[in-house]
Amino acid sequence: MKIFSEELVEKAVKELHVADLSKATIGEVLLVAQYLEKETGIPFIRMDQGSPGLPVNQMGVEAEKAALDRGVGSQYPAASGVPELKQAASRFVKAFLDIDISPRSCIPTVGSVAGSYGSFIACTQRTPGKNKVLFIDPGFPIQKSQLRIIGAEWKEFDIYNYRGKALHEKLESMLSDGDVAAIVYSNPNNPAWICLEDEELEIIGKLATKYDIIVMEDLAYFCMDFRHDMGHPFEPPYPPTVARYTNNYIIMLSSSKIFSYAGQRMALTCISDKLYDRHFPALAQRYNDSGVFGQTLVASILYMITSGCTASTQYAYAEMLRLSTEGKINFVEDTREYARRAEKMKKIFTDNGFHIIYDYDVTQEVGDGFFFTIGYGNMTGGELLKELLYYGVSSISLSTTGSEQQGVRACTSRMREELYDVMNERMKAFQEDHPL
């Protein structure tokens, strides 16, 4: 039996001006869920927005307060970032990735969204004729919206059928025209939680060098492949990264998930030193500057978007990175709660007829973490999204992420202990009403 009537859901859709519920964005689904909760007082199982569901790191809070007490709020921060953060970032990257990037090349940005936006601009303008971005999907829908704003084109493919060695031929077919400026993906992946393995990253890295493409590696869920214990600084195992296989890379590290510091909008764009120093005549001509990639990105692009990053938050991020590097914060253990939630949620769904869509990496079963993907029978992703809403469960269709698979993305971040039994009851009702 449905929790919310079709009439009430349709009323919500109409009043909120959602054009097509089956293709609704994260924001639109969020608004519908909030509307239904407010109208009825019945709590939703919120699996839509990937917002942190853990307490903010208190060390960061105290460091930010101290910075404000020192008076940093009275001065504009340098566009390239405060020295303390840049130094902490460089050491953090060495401690947890075993990669050498100088402090100069670690640039704070207003969340990874600003980092990717600025990077897309620099990448697609650096070389005439190389103006497209290749998405290894499924991925983060906002990044394609960013390309719409700047007028850049993109290519995309769903990696589902191209894992391992099969990735090489597929990538070659997408890159051989020579018009791709950048490749972008997240690892672990939003929304599928698949993890690209070293074999695949080596393929990406070597082809990036061959075709002079910049790889934008989004590590928002850093070290959150909980199948491996990666929370110990300067000790293997280290997370896989394309930085081991090419010098053409930009790594994006966010404070939002690993430190639950999302509200302060702080991230890092870490550029390979060799890429930072590369000179591009097209950039020099367009911006009337040096044309050096890193300097142009910071001073002629990112500064025009956000005018730098909030000074006090930079000191907060620096402190959290520093303490992590010293082993005084174990952010991996702090975030392992997401894996525990995913395990329980997956079992509820699979016990009630659902199946996991992106279920395997190349060599092992996909782990538990911040996201997972589910399907039900022959339902399309849009149909499943809509049907789940009637049972008080919000999600997003995989079609909005570039996936060709039929299902929805589930986020674990807002799950609460008291809702597991509620979810189980609702999914039992769902299965009874939708016999396979």
Q: Which residues contact 400 (CB under 8 A, 6 or more apart)?
A: 23, 24, 25, 26, 141
How buried is residue 42: exposed, middle or buried, by Cβ count under 10 Å (0-12/13-18/19+)?
exposed
What is the Cα–Cα distance from 404 to 159, expressed in whole angstroms? 9
Residues of the chain with pLDDT under 50: none
CB 346 within 8 A of CB 357: no
Tell me, yes or no, if the two domains 6-54+335-433 and 58-325 fold the same way: no
Q: Give the pLDDT of residue 365.
A: 97
- Quote the pTM value: 0.96
In tens, the pLDDT along 17-59 reads: 998 888 888 889 999 999 999 999 999 999 998 899 999 999 9
Q: State both tokens at 334.
A: 């702090």
CB atoms near residue 128 (< 10 Å): 10
The pairing of beta strand 408-411 with beta strand 371-375:
antiparallel
In tens, the pLDDT along 402-425 reads: 999 999 999 999 999 999 999 999
Q: Give the pLDDT of residue 324.
A: 98
Q: What is the architecture, at CATH level 2, of domain 6-54+335-433? A: Alpha-Beta Complex (3.90)
In CATH, the number for domain 58-325 is 3.40.640.10
Domain boundaries, the chain: 6-54+335-433, 58-325
Is the CA virtual torsion 99, 105, 110, 112 positive or negative? negative
Q: State both tokens at 47.
A: 């699996």
Q: Give the pLDDT of residue 411.
A: 97
Q: Which residues pair with 409 in a beta bridge?
A: 373, 396
In tens, the pLDDT along 345-402 reads: 999 999 999 999 999 999 999 999 999 999 999 999 999 999 999 999 999 999 999 9
